[in-house]
Every structure is written in structure tokens, then in C-alpha cells.
């Protein structure tokens, strides 16, 4: 029987240079999609999948993320005084239990592989989930929940994937499942950001992973790869020589909020998914677009 997935890693050390000046004083993960910070959306997905412990790999100037997932007594007291019970209940619901979060620092921006390696002691010797906060997944069922169900059935390593346009494959990790149309399919090849025109398929790594702890030893020895960074994909390729990797196709929409257009599209899509906002938002958006 495979080990239950209890812990999730969130690498949040990135500088967010693509969003300057918005990210000069606040982390990019705290930018809001509708009324929730991007990182809260991703933590929501992990909680919905049954994750019990949230490990944030942070860096300088990211303290506000730690504050966001803590209780705020003055605010709670004021809300209580003013009888704002719904807001109070929502705050409580969004805050992880005491002791259910860990924060560790990456110290140097050496790449995603290095950020994941920084979580090794907090994770220990068990399989874990990894969620890249830039990537928001909107669909009928949370992406990570589908992946954990697949892991419960068959164990091993799993990677969330979704189809991207052929002219976008060079921006992502790409996997090949040998033409399989199954939702969960064995990965035959994997490549990080293939040069234009060389991708083995159009299935992109969506930023959701379930990994076995043996990845940490490989990351420890991993030399720098594409862009001079320690790449997670390079160590996953090594792990794939001794362990099975499956791709889990996500059938909803994936928004890359690390790009300005993806961020704007996510705000529109998440607003349209909100019953309290969608009807009026639809009218205003139609007026702006001249529809
Ligand atoms: C990382 C991964 C890549 C994945 C992407 C999703 O790249 O290395 O495989 O497709 O996230 O956003 P990055 O966006 O950090 O360059």
C-alpha cells in the first residue's frame, strides 16, 4: 500500500520581477485573484485534497506570507465587536491549524530544484505534494485531489499536465505519454523548456507534482541545468530511471498568473466562477468590451 500524502511544499521565494512595481514591497504570491491572494487559492486546493501540513519555502521580504496564514487577534476582536460573524468565520476557516505550517528559507535563488531540496528536513522520508503557486487550476475537481486519488491507487510519482498551444511548449516542462488519451498515463519522456519546434508533445507540466522522497538525494547532487539553475525536471528524469512516473491530465483551465495576461485572465475566470460576483461582473465586462 502506498504512503498517504500529508504534506505539501509551496516554493514562494521568487522575486516577481515580471510584476514590478506591484511586487516591490509585496510578494507576488500575495497579489489577489478576485479577493484572495494567489497563494491562498493554491493552499485552498491543497486543503481540499486533504493536505495536513503546509511547507513554504520562502526568501527575503516574504514575511507577509507567514502573517497571512497566522491568526490576527486585533482584526478578529474588531470583527467580533462589530458583529461581523460571517467574515470572522471565513477568516477562521482559511487559517491553517496551529502547528500545520512550516517556513524555511531558500537563501539563494538557485532554481526550483534547489527550492524543493530546501524542504527536505521538513518533509522527511515520505512522499509529498508540490504546488507551484503561479499556476492556478480552475475546474470541477481540484487538480491535486485527482492526483492524490491516483497515488492512493498506484503509488509512484505523478505530474499534473495540461495541453498548451504548440507555440507555447518552449515555456514549460513537456512530457510525452506515447499518444495515450487516458487521464492517468505513464510518462515515456520528459524535457524542460524544449527549444521551439522540438517538443515531443504539447502536454505541459502544470505545476502540480506528487514525488517520492528519493528525489531529495538526487536534488542534492543535481548540477545546474537550463538557465544556470538547479532544475527539478533534471532530477525527476534521473528518478525516472528507477521509479515510475505518471501524468495526470487536468481537464479544467490552468492560468499562469506569473504572466500579466494569465493573471488578468485568472481574475476574469475566478470572478465568473463566483455566484456573488458573476452576474454584475458579466454586465460590466460586456460594457468594457463593447459587447
Ligand atoms: C516550472 C517547471 C516547468 C513547469 C512550470 C509551470 O518552470 O520547471 O516544468 O512547466 O514551472 O509553471 P518555471 O515556470 O519555474 O520556469
Whose CA is closest to atom 3 on ligand 1? Answer: 173
Q: How far is the CA of 164 from the centre of ligand 1 (A)?
A: 13
Residue 1: inside a domain: no
Q: Residue 111 sits in a domain of what CATH number?
A: 3.90.550.10
Is 285 domain-assigned? yes
Cβ–ligand 1 distance for 172 under 6 Å, the answer: yes
φ/ψ of residue 133, rounded to 5: -65, -25
106 domain-assigned: yes
Question: Percent of the chain at pLDDT above 70?
Answer: 99
| CA dihedral over 104, 106, 112, 114, signed as positive or negative | negative
For residue 14, which atom of ligand 1 is closest to its CA? 15
Judge if the beta carbon of residue 134 lies within 6 A of ligand 1.
yes
Query: In total, how many domains does the chain have?
Result: 1
- Residue 169's pLDDT is 96
The H-assigned helical ranges of 119-259 are 120-123, 143-154, 215-221, 232-239
Distance 190 CA to ligand 1 centre (A): 13
The residue whose CB lies within 8 Å of the most ligand 1 atoms, and thus the one to mutate among 19, 29, 132, is 132
What's the whole-number mean pLDDT along residues 144-156?
97
Q: Give the model confidence (pLDDT) of 83-111 as tens digits.
A: 999 999 999 999 999 999 999 999 999 99
Residue 273 lies in a domain: yes
Q: Tell me the per-residue pLDDT of 211-253, one tens digit each, with 9 for 90 and over.
A: 999 999 999 999 999 889 999 999 999 999 999 999 999 999 9
In a domain, 109, yes or no: yes
CA of 91 to the centre of ligand 1 (A): 31
Ligand 1 close to Cβ of residue 16 (< 6 A): no
Measured in residues, the chain has a length of 291
pLDDT at 9: 98
Mean of all residue pLDDT scores within the chain: 95
- How far apart are alpha carbons 252 and 256 in whole angstroms? 13
For 46-70, what is the mean pLDDT? 96
Atom in ligand 1 nearest the alpha carbon of residue 173? 9
Residue 83 lies inside a defined structural domain of this protein: yes
**Do the strands 189-192 and 173-176 form a parallel or antiparallel pair, or are they unpaired?**
antiparallel
Can you read off the three cell numbers belonging to residue 249?
491530465
For ligand 1, is residue 205 a contact (CB within 6 Å)? Answer: yes
The 3-state DSSP class for residue 11 equals strand
Atom of ligand 1 nearest to the CA of 172: 10
Domain presence at residue 2 = no
Domain extent, residue 225, equals: 7-289
pLDDT in tens, 7-48: 999 999 988 888 999 999 999 999 999 999 999 999 999 999
Closest Cα to atom 8 of ligand 1:
173
Q: Is residue 61 part of a domain?
A: yes
59 lines ligand 1 (CB under 6 A): no
Compare 161 and 1 and report the one with higher pLDDT.
Answer: 161
Instruction: Give the confidence band of 1 by pLDDT, cuts at 50, 70, 90.
Output: very low
Amino acid at each position: 500500500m502506498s504512503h498517504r500524502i500529508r504534506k505539501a511544499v509551496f516554493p514562494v521565494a521568487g522575486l516577481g520581477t515580471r510584476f514590478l512595481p506591484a511586487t516591490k514591497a509585496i510578494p507576488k504570491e500575495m497579489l489577489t485573484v478576485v479577493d484572495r491572494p494567489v497563494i491562498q487559492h493554491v493552499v485552498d486546493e491543497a486543503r481540499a485534497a486533504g493536505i495536513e501540513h503546509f511547507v513554504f519555502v520562502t526568501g527575503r521580504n516574504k514575511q507577509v506570507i507567514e502573517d497571512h496564514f497566522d491568526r490576527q487577534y486585533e482584526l478578529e476582536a474588531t470583527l467580533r465587536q462589530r458583529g461581523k460573524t460571517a467574515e470572522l468565520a471565513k477568516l477562521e476557516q482559511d487559517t491553517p491549524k496551529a502547528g500545520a505550517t512550516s517556513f524555511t528559507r531558500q537563501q539563494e535563488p538557485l532554481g526550483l530544484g534547489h527550492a524543493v531540496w530546501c524542504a527536505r528536513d521538513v518533509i522527511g522520508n515520505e512522499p509529498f505534494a508540490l504546488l507551484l503557486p503561479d499556476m492556478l487550476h480552475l475546474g470541477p475537481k481540484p487538480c491535486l485531489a485527482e492526483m492524490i486519488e491516483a497515488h492512493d491507487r498506484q503509488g509512484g510519482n505523478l505530474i499534473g499536465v495540461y495541453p498548451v498551444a504548440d507555440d507555447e511548449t518552449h515555456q514549460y516542462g513537456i512530457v510525452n505519454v506515447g499518444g495515450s488519451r487516458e487521464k492517468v498515463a505513464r510518462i515515456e519522456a520528459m524535457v524542460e523548456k524544449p527549444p521551439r519546434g522540438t517538443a515531443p508533445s504539447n502536454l505541459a507540466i502544470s505545476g502540480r507534482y506528487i514525488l517520492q522522497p528519493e528525489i531529495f538525494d538526487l536534488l542534492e547532487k543535481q548540477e545546474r541545468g537550463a538557465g544556470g539553475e538547479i532544475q527539478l525536471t533534471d532530477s525527476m528524469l534521473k528518478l525516472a530511471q528507477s521509479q515510475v512516473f505518471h501524468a495526470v491530465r487536468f481537464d479544467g483551465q490552468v492560468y499562469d498568473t506569473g504572466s500579466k495576461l494569465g493573471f488578468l485572465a485568472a481574475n476574469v475566470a475566478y470572478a465568473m466562477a463566483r455566484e456573488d460576483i458573476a452576474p454584475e461582473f458579466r454586465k460590466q465586462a460586456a460594457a468594457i468590451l463593447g459587447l
